[in-house]
Amino acid sequence: MNSADREREDLPRPSPERRHVYGRRRGKRLREHQSDLMETLLPRISVPLEGKTPLDPAALFEPGTKEVWLEIGFGGGEHLIFQAGRNSDTGIIGCEPFINGVAKLLAEIETHELSNVRVLSDDARFLLERLEPESLSRIFILYPDPWPKKRHNKRRFINAETLALIARALKPGGQLRFASDIPDYVGWTLARILRHNRERAHGEGALEWLAECPSDWRDAPQDWPGTRYEEKAIREGRTPAYLDFRRL
């Protein structure tokens, strides 16, 4: 089987019940070693979603794992690799439908010999729907596709459905971090989280914004390695915002 054939085999078979995943699934052709990793390493660390029973994410990792974190849309994997290397006793799940991003992450996992990373090469909503309630300690959504045209705004990952799933998956006291360089998407996110919180009659499951002063959302957090998307944004004159929330 040549590398092109392997790439075709790597793509999940869509079922009639799947929702559409917007955006590209692949970019340029994978290098031979990347294709090999998609065939050998990815199956060993993939998150299984077969069946319908709730998924305990801690069961995906070695005994002694203290917490499980989730990064939704990890792009080139810079942030995920940084966090996994810095927090060896934490299991980190990365979700990314873009095949080339997955291949890059696999290469970094191999290079840094990381054993605390698991991968879903698909839409994160499929995982969020299956997770046991209150099973994650942190969730990261960093520079998601802004879908800037108004007719495409409905494709944005942050919406009422996903916020409900995120709040359900986080433990009380667990944190959500959202970062974007698009002011409209930052405002969109704050507005939808405010609406989400208003619907929580007794406050349980609300997402409390932790900012106390402008520097809290203007300055990068201490545990922030930077990403290539962020570098591009700053280079092009856009200002990133970092929003941290705590699940009540």
Q: How far apart are the first and last CA of the chain?
A: 51
3-state secondary structure at position 231: helix
Which residue in 56, 145, 184, 219 is the catalytic one?
Answer: 145
Structure tokens belonging to residue 72: 């939704």
> What is the three-state SS of 60-97?
HCCCCCCEEEEEECCCCCHHHHHHHHHCCCEEEEEECC
The question of whether 10 is a catalytic residue gets the answer: no
Q: How far apart are CA 182 and CA 235, in angstroms?
A: 14
Residue tagged 């799940």 (tokens): 93
Structure tokens at 178: 């959202």
> Cα–Cα distance between 212 and 48 in angstroms, integer?
40
Which tokens in the block code for residue 102? Answer: 């997955």
| DSSP element (H, E) containing 110 | helix 99-112
Task: Concatenate the DSSP letters of all residues of 196-230 into one string.
Answer: HHHT-TTSTT-EEE---STHHHHSPPTT----HHH
Handedness of CA 78, 84, 87, 91 (dihedral sign): positive
Q: Which residues are catalytic?
A: 145
